[in-house]
Amino acid sequence: MNPTVSIVGRPNVGKSTLFNRLIGRRKAIVHDEYGVTRDRHYGESFWNGRNFTVVDTGGYLPNEEDVITAGIREQVHLAMDESDVILFVVDTESGISSLDQSVANMLRKQEKPVFLVVNKADNEQKTMEAVEFYSLGFDEIYPVSAISGTGTGDLLDKVVEKL
């Protein structure tokens, strides 16, 4: 079985955009789930000679704050169980939210490698602003623009080293 990289984070930070960029033209497989989690998408990716599976998480119904919080907690637990590497995505346009804080707290308490991906760093200004996310307590941040692809190569270079 291929190693697994899961993408977690609150809604609208760009998880699915990053997922689509990582799997390229390959097709995602959708797994329906029980519980608060609506579905998870699995896709295959390849970088620097390594094959790996990418998991996109999200899709919470109904769209209420406590349901979203419970859904994210469930997704983070699943990711911690089934992944070799976790990509924790945040958004430099909207800055740090309390949901980001609670995901960070969950992820810092476990052993799996976590990459803090600061998405929507579309230009130099936004990339500089991304440094505020160091306050979430991870050693490194990885500013990317999932839309344009900027930064995703540098991120993947480091990710595949951990697979």
In the list 2, 4, 17, 69, the residue contacting ligand GDP (rule: CB under 6 A) is 17
Binding to ligand GDP by residue 58, rule CB under 6 A? yes
The answer to whether 117 is a known ligand-binding residue is no
* Site membership for Mg ion, residue 37 (CB under 5 A): no
Q: How far is 13 from 27, CA to CA, in rounded Å?
A: 22
Rounded-to-integer distance, Cα 102 and Cα 40, Å: 21
* Residue 41, φ and ψ in degrees, nearest 5: -110, 130
Residue closer to ligand GDP by CB (options 18, 80) is 18
Name the one range near ligand GDP by CB under 6 A: 8-16, 79-87, 99-107, 133-141.
8-16
Among 58, 71, 143, 151, contact with Mg ion (rule: CB under 5 A): 58
Comparing CB distances to ligand GDP, the nearer of 59 and 160 is 59
Q: Tell me: is residue 3 an annotated ligand-binding position.
A: no
State the DSSP code for 14.
S
CA distance 5 to 26: 16
Residue 83 in tokens: 């992944």
**Residue 16 annotated as part of some ligand binding site:** yes
Query: Token pair of 12, please?
Result: 């609208």
According to DSSP, the residues that pair with 143 across neighbouring strands are 118
Q: Which residue has the tokens 């344009």?
A: 148
Q: In the set 7, 9, 16, 117, which binds Mg ion (CB under 5 A)?
A: 16
Binding site for ligand GDP (CB under 6 A): 11-17, 58, 119-120, 122, 145-147
